[in-house]
A and B are shown apart, each in its own frame.
Chain A
Amino acid sequence: MGIHRISLTINGDFHQVDVPSNMTLLQMLREKLALTGTKNGCMAGECGACTVILNGEPVNSCMVLAAECDGSDVITIEGLAKNGRLDPLQEAIIAHSGVQCGFCTPGIIISARALLDRNPSPSLEDVKEALVGNLCRCTGYHSIFSAILEVAQSQHK
């Protein structure tokens, strides 16, 4: 099987990686670069645990080949904190207890970050729709929704 040498930016750092054809972006992040914050759930684009931001838009990283990512810009959960400070969404999820087992949390926060980047004033319905592809079996979602809405509101202050 062919090996593809790709160059890409991940969380602001330049990387050159050799990847086999069948390696997904998710596998490359976790297994080649030890960025294990991005989780492997269903491997079918349904659960959203593997969500990362690829060239400005959220994607299921299990549904992207690493070989396709030459020249791309990727942001993972590890890339949200800036200068040792958590992203406001991370702070709010903690404050609202939007975490139990935590497996869905990186994907949820990435989807929410992408939502607030494209729509700084989402309604509750907008938040629900943006998280359709992120399954959480612990929290019942309400604490997550209120955390995201609080961050949206505080951004306008």
Chain B
Amino acid sequence: MITALSGLPEFEYVKPSNLLEASRFLADHAGEARPFAGGTDVFVRMRDGFWKEKYLVDIKGLDGTNELRFDPQNGLKIGAGVNMNRVMQNPDVRQHYPLLVEACRTVASYQLRTRATIVGNICNASPAGDTIGACMVFGGELRVHGVDGWRNEPLSTFFLGPGKTRLLPGDIVTSLNLPLPPPGCKGTYIKLGRNQMSDLAIVGVTVLGFPQADLPSGYRFRIALAAVAPTPLEAQAAEDYLANHPITDETLRQAAQLAQEACSPIDDVRGSARYRRAMVRNLTLKALTLVWESLQTEQS
């Protein structure tokens, strides 16, 4: 039985001095230790009794985790400890990745975003994570430090289920790396919540579109769906359809239908599966139309 506590349960707060020490500690205490940055998901899960970790390992301040840097050759690096407000206020992010700013803006409240991080949003692996779609459509990769050294994890294969990822005991994501945005790209994130701001998504639709001359339609669209499957989902059949057919209103409608068919939502307190399916189609069409219109405005 789950019993909410009046405060946080007992655990040890651990602040390692370097990444190797942190990874070793997490590996040595597999199943009873968890890394955290902002804690906005972890503390709530602990307080509600869903998680019973003995150790919470603070990864803020470890090598590179505080870094937020745009490089015109390589793209954007967002350290695991960088909070969402800092990302939203960064001039380079605002100029080159406005879609990411738009997605962050829908997360909870200003004071929660002082703590919440994008890497934490990704690692929490909620199907409803608001910033995950933007990171996916930009082709994001995580930089991971484990007991055996460094590796990269593309977001396209990172999510295994609700709260489940390819991370192993001892793994610490130190940063998210986004490649340079495709030239001429336009994007939008449409979030349907029970209220206008701050709630979790009933459905979230992220669309990024950009010209790509070698495709039959001349454009590539990437579509990520939130809160409608066990993991954040990229609607590949819809993306392929848009790549291969001249873009018309009917093409956009057909793609929205394919996006709806790709999802497998559940009934929960925020909405029924049937409602979510209908909203995936409607909101995908709305998002595709918005992006297509701004792509054409750019050209004319």
Contacts and interface: CB of A to CB of B under 8 A. Distances in A.
Interface of A: 1-2, 4, 20-24, 27, 43-46, 48, 51, 54, 57-60, 62-65, 67-68, 111, 114-115, 129-130, 132-134
A16 B235 CA distance: 53
A45 B116 CA distance: 11
B246 interface: no
Contact of A64 (B15, B109, B115): B115
A60 to B, nearest CB: 5
A57 B198 contact: no
A54 B8 contact: no
B257 interface: no
A39 to B, nearest CB: 14
21 contacts: A2-B13, A21-B10, A21-B12, A23-B8, A24-B7, A24-B43, A44-B44, A44-B47, A45-B108, A57-B85, A58-B114, A67-B13, A67-B15, A68-B60, A111-B111, A114-B110, A129-B110, A129-B197, A132-B197, A132-B198, A133-B110
B58 interface: yes
Most chain A beta-carbon neighbours within 10 Å: one of B56, B108, B115? B115
Interface in B59-90: 60, 85
Contact of A45 (B9, B12, B112, B197): B112
A27 B7 contact: yes
Size range of the interface on B? 20 to 34
Nearest to B5: A43
A54 B114 contact: yes
Contacts of B58: 68
Given A21-B13, A63-B39, A111-B111, A43 B47 contact: yes
Contacts of A22: 7-11, 13
Kindly list the 4 A-B residue pairs having the minimum CB-CB distance in the complex, ordered from nearest.
A133-B109, A21-B13, A22-B8, A58-B111
Nearest to B85: A57
B124 interface: no
Contacts of B38: 63
Contact of B112 (A2, A27, A43, A60): A60
B20 to A, nearest CB: 22
B40 interface: yes
A77 B221 CA distance: 49
A67 B43 CA distance: 14
A132 B13 contact: no
Contacts of B10: 1, 20-22
Nearest to A118: B89
A77 B111 CA distance: 15
A13 B252 CA distance: 61
A63 B112 contact: yes
Interface string B172-201: 000000000000000000000000011000
A65 B46 CA distance: 13
Given A1-B11, A24-B43, A64-B39, 11 more contacts: A1-B12, A2-B12, A22-B7, A22-B9, A59-B114, A63-B112, A65-B13, A65-B56, A68-B60, A111-B111, A132-B198
